[in-house]
Amino acid sequence: MPQQVPTADGGRPLTPPGSSPRYALVTAGAICGQLSAGIVLSGLSMFTDPIRDDLWPAHDVPRAAVQSYYTVVLMVAMTTMPLAGRLIGNWGGRRLLVVGGTISTLGLIGISTATGLAGLYLFAAITGAGFGISVNFVPVVLVNTWFEKRKSLVMGMVVAGTALGGILASVVFSNLTPPVDEGGLGWRATMRIAAAIFAFFALVPAIVLVVNHPADVGLPRYGARPAGGSADSPGQVSGHLHGLKSGEALRSGWFWLLYLALCILGVHHAMGQITQPFFMNQQTDPGSGMTPALVGVFMTISMVGLIAAKPALGALIDRVGMIRAVVIVLTLHAIAAIALASVRFPAPVWFYPVLVLAGAGFAVGTVTPPLVCAMAFGQRQFAAIYGVLGTAYMFGLAFGSVLWSQAGTVGADPGQPWQLYRWAMRWCWVLSVGIVLGYWASVKGGRRLQRRLRPEVVPAPIRL
């Protein structure tokens, strides 16, 4: 009997995965999208002090109030991500990247014109609206749509783009945000440069590289097993995909346990948002030798660790399982954070490799949320489920950035601020325990729920 040739929805034969460069091109487009996300996630907090110094030189407005514009970006992004989860089925990721990327670009340009908190918050909200439906959401959905085999590794490579954006932001913004009389361009001109960088990496790859689904170009998901003798295309496999519907997942206690764990992860990783001002404030310590250029070097070294750690974490998950990999990375991060808490500047030689390890620990926040979502609740309606679940990490990051920013000055010596940040670095491992337990319980519980509600499609075994 002749072997059936797998076809896409339009009837054309599916190309064997190994013979197509399209997987690499879509991955490159997703990486560029995440680079734009890094401009927002890592870059905007660097503008807080320059904005405050310019608009409120007497510092009559608290730093936390100015930093809250970053929180507004994240909070609005949270509200639009569930909408993106619903729209992506009809609009496709490519259109969401173009529409959302355009909105965020206009929002960043608007921020550069702000003259008070009202304008700052308004344009931050516009930035967040576009961010939530585009670069903060679409790249991870593309990876989940295009890849079955090596998904963790590819996810790590893609979300490493946020660290690339962070490096670009730390090098450019640290040196350009100071006023013109101090050798910079000022925060307004630098914010417009940020908008241009964001637009380039969000919009151009979306138009040139991104394809919504592999079946659109006659390809199966990379490494996917045919269901019922057919290839992995939407029309043939949709009824065979394991996993819960979005309503079933959201009514589950395991979903909300995982939501809580990701919130805690966001609070934990929000400490990274105040690393740059923490280093900058060391200038108040006589003899520290701290300069904005040196801060840019420190942030770049940390981001290099983060870039290397993301694909490494993905590969480690493929090899040893999710929970073991997260435990290993968060343990190394805790050790590095405790060591950094004791550093006085000028920094000793051992500070630099420790800084790399500290940066590497933040890989957990971007690599694991989409992967643990798919592990716990399956592929059936991943985009809709992750559109809600992905807001958890954002919420923790938004809350934590203000929390650490304000807490870092509590009871501190006016001559050496941010002392409480050192205390937080020593004890951040406590949050890690809750994160690991939440991951383990929610994945186990979510998969049991899949087997109970969807016994006709048994999820493949995974290594926790």
**What is the model's pLDDT at position 324?**
95
Counts for the chain of helices (H) and strands (E), in that order: 19, 0
**What is the rounded distance in angstroms from the CA atom of residue 144 to the CA atom of residue 85?**
13
Residue found under tokens 């702000």: 114
pTM metric for this prediction: 0.79
CB 382 within 8 A of CB 373: yes
CB 345 within 8 A of CB 325: no
CA-based nearest residue to 235, from 246, 243, 227: 227
**What is the rounded distance in angstroms from the CA atom of residue 376 to the CA atom of residue 323?**
13
**What is the rounded distance in angstroms from the CA atom of residue 113 to the CA atom of residue 439?**
42
> DSSP string spanning 399-435?
HHHHHHHHHTTTT-BTTB--HHHHHHHHHTHHHHHHH
CB 278 within 8 A of CB 298: no
CB 137 within 8 A of CB 84: yes
Element (H, E) at 221: none
**What is the model's pLDDT at position 231?**
38
Does residue 459 have a cis bond before it (omega within 30 degrees)?
no
Structural domains for the chain: 21-212+243-453 (1.20.1250.20)
Mean pLDDT of each 10-residue bin along the chain, 464 residues long: 42 56 94 94 87 91 86 90 90 94 97 95 96 93 90 92 85 83 87 96 95 91 62 38 88 96 93 75 76 81 87 93 94 91 84 91 92 92 92 86 70 60 83 95 94 76 70
Q: How many CB atoms lie within 10 A of CB 231?
A: 23
**What is the rounded distance in angstroms from the CA atom of residue 338 to the CA atom of residue 325?**
20
402: its two tokens: 């203000």
Residue 286's region, left for phi above 0, alpha for psi from -120 to 50, else beta, is: beta
